[in-house]
Structure 1
Amino acid sequence: MSDSVNSRPDGRSARWSAHRARRRAELVDAAVAAIEQHGPEVTAGQIAAAAGVARPHLYRHFDDAADLRHAVVDRALALYQAGLAPVWRPQGTPRQMVRAAVDAHLDWLSTHPQLHRYALRAARDVASDHRAHIGVTDVADPVDAARSGIAAHVGALVQDVVRAQSLEVEIAEPLAYGLVSMVDAAATRWMDRPAGLIREEFADQLTDWVWSVFETAFRASGLRIEPDRPLTLGTPPTGP
């Protein structure tokens, strides 16, 4: 038998692989639904019940609990990033861009509070699992990686603005990373302890804080931007 025949894909194997991938995705969907119902302390039994399977069957499509947890975190972050269209494709005036990005983040927290809490907790466990298995100490957790991706995109937009004024762009990266972290930390704290501050009020406050930081950083670099006048930018990088 020739090498070409030996290398030909087995149709049954391909179909089985596709079935396993589809079933794995269905179980992740069930896990997400269980987390939304029961919170971040969800049990394997609750996930199995949401999937309509016996608990032992749950792990036929995952290596172990850590593999399932990793898959759920990846799904949560994919859903989160899909909801950030105002970040990936900003429109309007600078202040409108900031407000739209803030609203998109708060929409996620308001719509998926339990999944957000789960992702924050589980992502650190995922990183710990990787450290334990491959013996490294510099594995970033998936949530930090997602924040870094958002910050890098925002930083590229800031660089575009600064370059248009023939100014140095060194401030763009630390500024973007700082602001993304601030928004995430403040919004997560508000979600857990709103202290009577309704969402619209908080969104107004958070937008003002972000714009104040932008304005201070730009002014220090000799750049003045009108918050309510549309910017002329180059083609921004696209998001996921």
Structure 2
Amino acid sequence: MSIVRRISSGPHQVQGRVLDARNTRWNEHRATVRAELVDAAFRAIEHFGASVSMDEIAAEAGASKPKLYRYFSDKAGLYSAIAARVGSMIWHSAQSVLMVDADASVEQMMRSGINAYVALVNTHPRIFQFLMVHQMFQYSSFDDGGGAAEQLQRVMTVFADRFATSLKGVGASETLVPMALASILGSGLSSTKWWLEVGRPADVNTETFSSHLEETTWGIIYGAARASGVIVDRARSFDDPEFLVRAH
């Protein structure tokens, strides 16, 4: 009986492997086509701006609108894939900052992170404006690994967690850290929206804009630190015992 079972189950196992291989090839093909369509959407947005239509995206992709909907279900699905691509770009641009030498000052790390973000916005202004016009920084639940807002928050959370650890180390409350993080993100996105809407004027170049974001961020951090009864020395590293001390 066991021999019969082994023999009779053979074709089913082979069929299962064939189906698995077909599914793998289809998934790989689907991922490739989706990436190509998102590439085309980027080009269309760079050309037409935030008002780009699905027809214009389809034309740029050399495809029909039904093909777009076949791979993204609807317009919202394509928009979320665009947001996910920007989110990936934000995360990758921050990697060099997050992996920086532990001896680097918190000020240096924060400045490098902000500069990387501003450089990305300055390189793709119409893409970021597109996301803001369509409120893609206001909600999540993306199926493509997290949108722009989620990845931006992910980067900031790395810093927030280090601050929380330092607060805990001196016996101070960590409860204001999430509030400060939300304030920094909200302020930064509002400033970015304004900067893009006014056309990134010459008197507010990338250096000036980065400086504004940096000082605004530190203003929020200093305010939260005072409310928590601590003093922050941004010229020190996170690992320096004197980076954060209790106020007398």
User: If the length of structure 1 is used for normalisation, what is the TM-score?
Assistant: 0.77
Q: 1:163 to 1:199 in 2, by over 3 A?
A: same
Aligned partner of 2:206 among 179, 196, 199? 199
Alignment of 1:87-98 (within 5 A): 88-89=98-99, 92-98=104-110
Contact 1:147 1:181 in 2 (8 A): no
CA shift at 1:120, angstroms? 2.5
Q: 1:49 to 1:211 in 2, by over 3 A?
A: same
Query: Partner residue of 2:4?
Result: none
Q: Which has the higher contact order (CA 8 A, sep 6+)?
A: 1
Query: Partner residue of 2:177?
Result: 172
Q: 1:201 to 1:64 in 2, by over 3 A?
A: closer
The yes-or-no answer on 1:7 pairing with 2:16 is yes
The yes-or-no answer on 1:232 pairing with 2:239 is yes
Contact 1:28 1:71 in 2 (8 A): yes
Query: Partner residue of 1:238?
Result: none
What is the identity, as a one-letter code, of the residue corresponding to 1:99?
R
SS in structure 1 of the partner of residue 51 of structure 2: coil
Unaligned 5+ segments in structure 1 are 131-140, 235-240
Which is greater in Rg?
2
Alignment of 1:133-152 (within 5 A): 142-152=147-157
Partner Cα distance (2:95, 2:31) in 1:
28
Query: Partner residue of 2:117?
Result: 105
CA shift at 1:232, angstroms? 0.9
Query: Partner residue of 1:184?
Result: 189
User: If the length of structure 2 is used for normalisation, what is the TM-score?
Assistant: 0.75
Runs of 4+, deviation exceeding 4 Å: 123-128, 141-144
Q: 1:125 to 1:153 in 2, by over 3 A?
A: closer
Q: For residues 181-230 of structure 1, give each alpha carbon's deviation from its aligned partner in whole angstroms, at most 9, with x where no partner exists.
A: 21221222122225632221232233222223222322343322322233
Unaligned 5+ segments in structure 2 are 1-7, 242-248
% identical equivalent positions = 26
For these two proteins, the number of residue pairs brought into alignment is 223
The yes-or-no answer on 1:79 pairing with 2:89 is yes
Query: Partner residue of 1:28?
Result: 38
Q: For residues 129-159 of structure 1, give each alpha carbon's deviation from its aligned partner in whole angstroms, at most 9, with x where no partner exists.
A: x8xxxxxxxxxx9455445434433321211
What is the identity, as a one-letter code, of the residue corresponding to 1:63?
S
Contact 1:123 1:142 in 2 (8 A): no
Task: Say what the alpha-carbon RMSD is for the aligned residues.
Answer: 3.1
CA shift at 1:111, angstroms? 0.9
What is the identity, as a one-letter code, of the residue corresponding to 1:100?
S
Q: 1:72 to 1:163 in 2, by over 3 A?
A: same
Contact 1:32 1:72 in 2 (8 A): yes
Query: Partner residue of 2:246?
Result: none
Partner Cα distance (2:169, 2:17) in 1:
54
